[in-house]
Structure 1
Amino acid sequence: MTTQPTAGRATHAVLRVPPASPAAAAAYFGASLAFHADVSDVAAAMAADGDPGFVLLDSRSTASWEQGHIPGAVHLPTALIAQEAAALLDPTVPVVTYCWGPGCNGATRAALALAELGYQVKEMLGGFEYWAREGFEFETMRGRERRIADPLTAPDETGDCGC
């Protein structure tokens, strides 16, 4: 039996702080989508014919880039953005940053550095880790590779998670 919280009293930690109003939630989640893209959406855009409308930027070190990176990505370590972004990036084209994965905020730091230089930017949630875990192709010094998709991170053979 599911119990409903009594007005003014939360029955557990989830509702101890009540949910935001629908208007505040819509503003928050709308803003979140303006700042983030997910791996599957980036992969679909990169695989589509033609220009995806953005530059995918790997902000990791050269050693990390050589260990594996997303095909078509531009390599620009975060520490070099201030000096080299203008030579590598068109300021009229949005940039989507990525780093290792959800445990790393390198893509966030790169996005901040780019935004401070005037670029429109989003961060790819999940980073390179989830790109590989979802079974998308990546490049290494040995050539292109692909891992079997982790069933905890990728949809089944239909390729559609329904979200």
Structure 2
Amino acid sequence: MNVTSSVLAFPPPLPEQSARWLADKLAYYADAWDVAEDLARGVDELVVIDARSGDAYRRGHICGAVSFPHRTMTAESLAGLDRNKIYITYCDGIGCNGSTKAAWKLATAGFQVKELIGGFDFWQRDRHPVVAGDAAGNWPEAAPLPECGC
């Protein structure tokens, strides 16, 4: 019996093509586990930006993230940022493109940026530290990272 494959209707790329494309994908995105590890270790090259509204930030945000709503990002408002940092943008989750808009605005202004896969939703699902209020908050020293399942 000859079975037609839906998966193979479009043949996979050569291994070299896959390696290039996947390296590019990893250059553009970070996941919650990697960001949490870096924040827990105190990696100071990164700045996590909550691109949601100020009200959403106050209700709860990634511990250590700064509020910078994408709607307020302009050449003038971005001018004070440190060009030696790598910015990680996030919004609510995969159904929101606020992090993409923020990342685009940062990139077009000459900043290095990555998006957080899954946003605040995936961050909470992984049970990483969250704080409420206007302050960014400090990473809790007594909060060990749970083991990553991947």
Structure 1: which amino acid aligns with 2:82? D
1:31 aligns with 2:24: yes
The residue aligned with 2:102 is 110
Distance in 2, Cα, partners of 1:126 & 1:85? 24
The residue aligned with 1:91 is 83
Name which of 103, 120, 139 aligns with 1:128.
120
1:40 aligns with 2:36: no
For residues 158 and 91 of structure 1, do their structure 2 counterparts lie closer, same or farther at Cα, with a shift above 3 Å needed?
closer
Number of residue pairs aligned between Structure 1 and Structure 2: 140
For residues 17 and 44 of structure 1, do their structure 2 counterparts lie closer, same or farther at Cα, with a shift above 3 Å needed?
same
Distance in 2, Cα, partners of 1:62 & 1:36? 24
SS of the aligned residue for 1:56 comes to strand
- Report sequence identity in percent: 39
Distance in 2, Cα, partners of 1:67 & 1:14? 43
Give CA-to-partner distance per residue, 1:39-65, whole Å, 9 cap, x none: 0000010011x3342111110001111
1:12 aligns with 2:5: yes
Distance in 2, Cα, partners of 1:71 & 1:160? 19
Name which of 140, 143, 146 aligns with 2:132.
140
RMSD between aligned residues: 2.2
The TM-score normalised by the length of structure 2 is 0.85
The TM-score normalised by the length of structure 1 is 0.79
The residue aligned with 1:159 is 147
Structure 1: which amino acid aligns with 2:45? G
Distance in 1, Cα, partners of 2:146 & 2:114? 27
SS of the aligned residue for 2:52 comes to coil
- Shift of residue 11, structure 1, vs aligned partner: 1.9
Distance in 2, Cα, partners of 1:26 & 1:119? 25
Higher RCO (CA < 8 A, seq sep 6+):
2
The residue aligned with 1:70 is 62
Which runs of 4 or more aligned residues in structure 1 lie more than 2 Å from their structure 2 counterparts after TM superposition?
none
Distance in 2, Cα, partners of 1:86 & 1:58? 18
Distance in 1, Cα, partners of 2:131 & 2:79? 25
- Shift of residue 109, structure 1, vs aligned partner: 1.0
For residues 158 and 106 of structure 1, do their structure 2 counterparts lie closer, same or farther at Cα, with a shift above 3 Å needed?
closer
Structure 1: which amino acid aligns with 2:122? Y
Distance in 1, Cα, partners of 2:51 & 2:82? 17
Distance in 2, Cα, partners of 1:51 & 1:37? 14
